[in-house]
Amino acid sequence: MTHSTKAFYWMAVPALLLFVTLHTVPVLTGVLFSFTDYAGYGKWNFVGLQNYLSLFKDDRVLTSYGFTFLFAITTTVIVNVLALGIAMLLNARIKFQTAFRGLFFIPNVLAILVIGYVFNFIFSNSLPLLGQSLGIDWLSTSILANKDLAWLGIVGVSAWQSIAFSTILYLAGLQTIPAELYEAAGLDGASYWRQFSSITFPMIGAFFTINMVLALKGFLQAFDQIVALTGGGPGTSTESVAMVIFRGGFQGGEFGYQMANSVVYLLVIVAVSLIQLRTLQRKEADF
């Protein structure tokens, strides 16, 4: 063993140990408990696959999957469209460019819980006042109290916060495009839209992929913003999968059952991310 490879081991092994003890071991413990009737305390027995079978018969769990996917896909699309737009504006030659970039990054620095509670106040108090004075019916009561509209409030707040991070990634991507490409296209008389669809978008393909994967994965795990905004309500209309796992597992005393839910959900998220990566990467331009 040469001197340099030894050094690599010294650097890698502690990190690996930390990762295994803090991440892999808990995951495996969780998987083990998913085959038991463990309540989170007291005695427990192995129950085989019973938890998994019950999961597919539990309409509350199935509804939460439906809500989470609807929420995650809508928010991912909104975030990426707006973030790309903002990134292009911030990348253009404008006055106070750095100041604007800093400004647009602020939502990412704030904690989502804090944002959630602030927006909760806006949705419950400020917007209804506005709606009442303008005579708009659906806005004169809190949209968070409306089971058909509450999810849109959550989409709005989540998007408001995560656009900041996606914008930064897109900005980084836009700066990797050589200016000569635009010069050449301009000389050939390509329109602005043509330049976007043939140069800008293909050249930041890798950034688009990573943004889509990160955004969707993040929104599928939505929890904090829902706690701060609706607490899963009204009724159970905005319960995300993570929320059902937390409530049933830690508050409801069905630790084993919700561990099974977690395992299934882990597999679902991994599968979704892999599919996304494969389909999107095929469309990226090589250069």
Partner 1 sequence: MFHLKQGRATALGAALAAALLTSCAAAPAENEVTLDFFQFKPEAVQEFAGLIDEFEAANPGIRVLQNSVPDPDTAIRTLLVKNKAPDVLTLNGNASFGLLAEACVFADLSQEPVAKKVLPAVQDILNANGRCGGSEINGLPMANNASGILYNPEIFAKYGVSVPRTWDELIAAVETFKANGVAPFYMTLKDAWTTSPALVNLAAQLQPEDFFDRLDAAGDVREDSPVSFSKDYQELADKLSKLFSYAQPGAAGVDYATGNKAFADGKSAMYLNGSFAVPAIRAANPDAKIASFPYPVTNDPAKTTVVSGVDVALAMGRETPHRAEAQKFIDFLLSKEVVDKYTKNQSAFAPVRDAAPQQDPALQGLAAYFNAGRVEGYMDHRLPPSIPLVNITQQFVLDGDKSRFLNTLDNEWFKVAARTPNRGDQ
Taking Cα atoms as reference points, which of 219, 246, 90, 121 lies closest to residue 161?
A: 219
60 binds partner 1 (CB under 8 A): yes
Nearer to partner 1, 54 or 276 (CB): 54
Q: How far apart are CA 243 and CA 61, in angstroms?
A: 10
By CB under 8 A, name the one of 73, 77, 145, 268 that touches partner 1. 145
Q: Which 65-124 residues touch partner 1, going by CB under 8 A?
A: 102, 124
Among 31, 54, 160, 198, binds partner 1 (CB under 8 A): 54
Q: How far, in Å, CA of 56 to CA of 54, rounded?
A: 6
C-alpha pair distances (Å), 126 with each of 143, 156, 210? 11, 16, 36
Distance CA 74, CA 81 (A): 11
- Residue 118 identity (one-letter amino acid): V
Q: Does 252 participate in binding partner 1 (rule CB under 8 A)? A: yes
The reply on whether position 142 binds partner 1 by CB under 8 A is: yes
Position among 182, 234, 273, 276 found at the interface with partner 1 (CB under 8 A): 234
Q: Which of 110, 65, 66 is nearest to 119 (CA)?
A: 110
* Residue 80 vs 261, nearer CB to partner 1: 261
Q: Smallest distance from the beta carbon of 158 to partner 1, in angstroms?
A: 20
Contact call for residue 40 and partner 1 (CB under 8 A) = yes
42 part of the interface to partner 1, by CB under 8 A? yes
| Smallest gap from residue 237 Cβ to partner 1 (A) | 7
- Does position 57 bind partner 1 by CB under 8 A? yes
CB-based contact 219:71 (threshold 8 Å): yes
Check binding of 224 to partner 1 (CB under 8 A): no
Of the candidates 253, 273, 280, 284, which one interacts with partner 1 according to CB under 8 A? Answer: 253
Peptide bond into 234 cis (omega under 30): yes
Q: Which stretch binds partner 1 (CB under 8 A): 80-88, 134-142, 157-165, 206-214?
A: 134-142
CA–CA dist 156, 103 (Å, integer): 19
Residue 255 carries which side chain, given as an amino acid letter? F
Q: Does 195 bind partner 1 (CB under 8 A)?
A: no
If you ran DSSP here, which 8-state letter would residue 111 be given?
A: -
Among the listed residues 128, 153, 173, 205, the single contact to partner 1 using CB under 8 A? 128
Work out how close the CB of 61 gets to partner 1 at its nearest, in angstroms, rounded to a whole number. 10
CB of 181 to partner 1, least distance (A): 34
Taking phi over 0 as left and psi of -120 to 50 as alpha, with beta for the rest, 44 belongs to beta
Closest approach of partner 1 to the CB of residue 17, in Å? 22
Which structure tokens are listed for 227? 């706690």
Given the complex with partner 1, which of 140 and 276 has the nearer CB atom?
140
**Closest listed residue to residue 198, CA positions, set 207, 186, 210:** 186
Give residue 39's Cα distance to chain centre: 29
Query: If binding is defined by CB under 8 A, does position 194 make contact with partner 1?
Result: no
C-alpha distances out from residue 241 to 29, 165, 247, Å: 20, 24, 10
Q: What is the contact surface with partner 1 in residues (CB under 8 A)?
A: 37, 39-43, 45, 50-51, 54, 57-60, 102, 124, 128, 140-142, 144-147, 231-237, 239, 247-248, 250-254, 257
